[in-house]
Chain A
Amino acid sequence: MASAKLTNRLDDTLQDLDRELGKNSDFKVRRFRVFGRYPAAMLHFSNINDQELINTNILKALMYLPPHLPETDRTSEQLKSAILQDALYHSESKFEREMSAVVVALLRGDTAVVVDGLDEALLIGTRQIDKRGIDQPATEQVIRGPREGFIEPLATNIALIRYRLPTKSLRVETLVLGERSHSQIAVCYLEDVASPKLVSEVKKRLSNIRLPAILDTGYLEQYIEDNNISPFPQVQYTERPDKVVANLLEGRVAILADGSPLALVVPTVFNQFYQTVEDYTERFLLMSAIRLARLVALIFSLIFSSLYVAIISYNPELIPTEFAVAVAGGRAGVPFPAIVEVLVMEITMEVLREATIRLPQQVGGALSIVGVLVIGQAAVAAGFASPITVVIIALTTIGSFATPAYNAALALRLLRFPIIVMAGVFGLYGIVIGLILIVNHLLSLKSFGVPYLSPLVPGNFNGMKDLLIRAPLFSMKKRPAFLYPRDATRRSSASVSALKEPPSDVLSPANNRENDPPKEPLP
């Protein structure tokens, strides 16, 4: 079947195609005559085509003989060249012999024209799928920075990248994955920046994927990451084209899939998960402080509730006496040990959060108010939880919201539970054991061979300018060394030296004193 070729008899071909696709009501066959004399048929799936284009640029163009051509009998070769070179007003068209290729093309939205006497079908790209407009990225909002986000069609997404990076070294290589979905996957990189080994490894890992369908880049992620059972994401996803471009410029490789508004960026290291676009667009001092705050929130969300459990149940001597006595007062009516109380409240919070995400926005807001205010207040009033527990739970939850990357926040949210249990069993000792296990795991984790905690481990001091703080852009002269970029320098030193020159104060009073204010014409 795969090697079946078309014949030059129109009716046979139509019969064959009807056998393959005819059971679909949206499969349309339109018979007509090419140049008014050769019987032909046009085939397409009516819902995924541009009808206007088909009518004017295909049907009309092929029905009439172009006026500059003589009206003679033509051999099949002449007919082909006349159709392609003289008659058709469409750029994306070609002849195809393979039956299976024609079927795939039709399914993808192309239009096929079969002419009696030709053993090839003319395939014309008329695919038109309705798409939503380019919108603000929903999950990665910024105050200062571009407002465009990726949408589903791959072509639009590639356009968004190319428009930001009109350089000849941007390479977009596509491959088709998915035995049934035939999804287009694009691998983007900068040829003179990205390490060639990385590019070929990405392509190798991608080409090994055997899946019936690629519905989202999330499917790809799980097949190309290094450690499948780790809770930590080793691939970053983003819906911001500017973020993809910034990563390409650092020497990373981006993977886009048709139908997914999320691009994958590899390799990924942990610090990317608490960085945002704004870190680079706003002033460095402020954003360094905010980044530190984000990091604190991240750590909060991981260990704050377990610290509470450990201190209440094991080491109450650590907190000030006045506070300890007060906490004991708050907990006096609660029948459960702190660990049960905290676990129940944490799980309740997770349920609430999940419920809020799934609900439509208008209802979600109301629900979160009901959940947080009413349930929290009622739990305290009912003696089910102590007020301080509610405060602690609220802090950890808010802390996990402050992490920009949803998947990383998810990992830490999950890991919070075993640490709470460890705290319940061994107190502070247990927390530290739990943290050591997590950190050891992080230290052994790799993304495409890059140690996950780079550039902190294995110590690259140049890279640390962008780790906890964000150094001024001009001071970051090198691309991240752990990516082994072909071209290590990010920007030439000329721009830095220009920056270091004393600014010329063109408008300072000192420079403008001699030429007195020009005589203004009086009104």
Chain B
Amino acid sequence: MRSDREITMIQLGSVVSSSIIGVGILPLPLFAVRAGGAGAPLVAMLGSMIGFAGIWLLVALGKRFPRETFVQYSQSIVGKWPAAVGSLLIIVYFTVLTAFGAREFGEVVITSVLKNTPVEVTVIVMLLLTAVSCRQDLTAFAYIQYFYLPVILVPAWLIVILSLKNADFINLLPLWGNEPQGIWRGGLSIANLFQTSFVISCIIPAMKHPNKALIPCVWGTVLAGAMYVAIVAAAVGVFGAEEIRLLLWPTLELAKTTSLPANVLERMDAAFLSIWVTAVFTTLHCSYTLTVVSMADLFKLKDYRALPIFLLPLVFMLAMQPQSIVQMYTTIHFIGQLGLLLTIGYPAVLLLIALARGKRSDGVDRKSLEKNGLPDLPASD
């Protein structure tokens, strides 16, 4: 069931990128502007950097334990039971993230395109699509993420470029915004959107060369971060910070203002939203795969193909919990901030302990260990 360790560096990079770019890009300029006003692009950049810190931690851990997943190596670092609690939290967290991702997109679709369709239907369709795709092995997972990356990037950049003609540079000044004190908190809330990249903790051990994971991760983050900054900058440039405060999904509104040259499509919001299904799908696919694979690791299941379908009703019920769109966003934001502790704080603690106790996985690549000059201790238990 597990793949044959053939995931390449490019595929890892695309996993990072397409896991980050998801439904969160629709309200992204709003969050950034709320925190930083005209300095919103700076907020997005800061958020990307915080997000990358989490990714870097996972890569560093992945290097020390090149053939183990997060669930496995956390056990050898902090012991079986504490690690099990941590892993369980991670699993629960990403289940919730999957559910809310699907719900958020469902709400967008219901509000803007399919007004009479029950939200349950759009959510269940999205979740079914994800669950069915999660039944495949990690190689197919990487293929899917890799294939869809251009499908995500091209339309988003297209909108950024086409909206340039309506943009007014003065809206972006001053670069740090008029109220710079909000930037840090804003950066943290943007960093929420980077958490799905936690999936690399399962992907790195399935790579051909787990030791070369850092460079693709950097590229992946840069690609996604640049996309974020560009979208925020385009939205602020076109609308101005004050108008964005009034728009629930400024990115969608940006697509609405953009028309293809020669009036082929007069407005692109519905078209963009449809293509964005792919981006949402890849993100959900990542978080759900992470849930499923981690669960399989935790309970030592050999075959996880049945899990996605089994968990589906639970995820669906979670997704249906928020009662209104405002409550949904408040919950997403709150949970996301707590999640940062889990996706950045917890790996950081693990890495520190691993460094302090000199833990590494045994076997596979002693050579690179010797090169690094670190004491080569056999892993206990």
Contact = CB atoms under 8 A, between A and B. Distances in A.
A321 interface: yes
A436 B273 CA distance: 14
Contacts of A457: 143, 146-147
B146 A318 contact: no
B11 interface: yes
A315 B278 contact: no
Given A426-B114, A436-B277, A318 B140 contact: no
B143 A443 contact: yes
Given A319-B266, A426-B125, A444-B140, A436 B109 contact: no
Residues of A in contact with B, size category: 20 to 34
Contact of A443 (B113, B140, B268, B275): B140
Interface stretch (A343-351, A427-435, A497-505): A427-435
Contact of A436 (B136, B263, B270, B281): B281
A319 B144 contact: no
Contacts of B146: 457-459
Contact of B147 (A432, A437, A443): A443
Given A317-B266, A433-B129, A443-B147, A459 B10 contact: yes
A458 B113 contact: no
Interface in A297-326: 314-315, 317-321
A453 interface: yes
Interface residues of B, number: 34
Given A315-B113, A319-B266, A444-B136, A428 B147 contact: no
Interface in B107-134: 109, 113-114, 117, 122, 125, 129, 132-133
A451 interface: yes
Interface in B146-195: 146-148
B271 interface: yes
Contacts of B117: 426
A318 B294 CA distance: 43
A469 interface: no
Interface string B34-52: 0000000000000000000
Given A318-B267, A456-B147, A429 B114 contact: yes
B215 to A, nearest CB: 15
B327 interface: no
Nearest to B6: A458
Contacts of B263: 320
A440 B144 contact: yes
B133 A459 contact: no
A433 B277 contact: yes
B274 interface: yes
Given A319-B266, A443-B143, A443-B144, A429 B8 contact: no
B142 interface: yes
B352 interface: no
B92 interface: no
A19 B125 CA distance: 68
A76 B186 CA distance: 104
28 contacts: A314-B114, A314-B270, A318-B267, A319-B266, A321-B266, A426-B114, A426-B125, A427-B270, A427-B274, A428-B270, A429-B122, A433-B125, A433-B129, A436-B129, A437-B129, A437-B132, A439-B147, A439-B148, A440-B133, A443-B140, A443-B143, A444-B136, A453-B147, A457-B146, A457-B147, A458-B143, A459-B11, A459-B146
Interface of A: 314-315, 317-321, 426-429, 431-433, 436-437, 439-440, 443-444, 451, 453, 456-459
